[in-house]
Amino acid sequence: MNRMSSEQPGCDLLVIAPHPDDAEIGLGGTLRLLADRGRRVWVVDLTRGELGSNATVDERWSEATAAAQVLGLAGRAQLDLPDGFIDDTDPRQAGAVADVVRRLRPRRVVTAPDAVRHPDHRITPALVERACFLSRLVAFRPGTVDVRLWERGGTWPEPAERWQVEACFGVCPDNAEPTVIFDVTSTWAAKREALACYTSQFQRGDGRNATWINDPAFMEKIERRGSAWGQRAGVERAEALWGGGAPVLLDLPDERWV
The per-residue pLDDT for range 49-92, each reduced to its tens digit, is 999 999 999 999 999 999 999 999 999 999 999 999 999 999 99
Asked if the 10-243 domain carries CATH number 3.40.50.10320, the reply is yes
CB of 115 closer than 8 Å to CB of 22: no
- Percentage with pLDDT > 70 across the chain: 98
Q: What is the pLDDT of residue 221?
A: 94
Alpha-carbon torsion angle 131, 137, 140, 144, nearest 10: 50
The secondary structure element, H or E, covering residue 168 is strand 167-171
At residue 177, does pLDDT exceed 90?
A: yes
CA 106 to chain centre: 12
* Mean predicted confidence (pLDDT) in 128-148: 94
pLDDT tens for residues 80-119?
999 999 999 999 999 999 999 999 999 999 998 877 778 9
At residue 11, does pLDDT exceed 90?
A: yes
- Counting Cα atoms < 13 Å in the Cβ hemisphere of 258 gives 16
Q: What is the pLDDT of residue 116?
A: 75
Q: How confident is the model at residue 1 (pLDDT cuts 50, 70, 90)?
A: very low
The secondary structure element, H or E, covering residue 224 is helix 216-233
* Mean predicted confidence (pLDDT) in 133-146: 92
Q: What is the pLDDT of residue 158?
A: 94
Q: Which of 116-120, 128-132, 146-150, 227-231 has the lowest mean pLDDT?
A: 116-120
Q: Is the dihedral of CA 53, 153, 223, 229 positive or negative?
A: positive
Return d(Cα 54, Cα 207) in angstroms, integer. 9
Taking the model in full, what pTM does it have? 0.94
> What separation in angstroms does the CA of 169 have from each of 118, 162, 195, 243?
19, 20, 22, 5
At residue 18, does pLDDT exceed 80?
A: yes
Report which DSSP code applies to 250: S
Return d(Cα 212, Cα 110) in angstroms, integer. 24
Helix/strand/coil for 126: helix
- Counting Cα atoms < 13 Å in the Cβ hemisphere of 192 gives 12
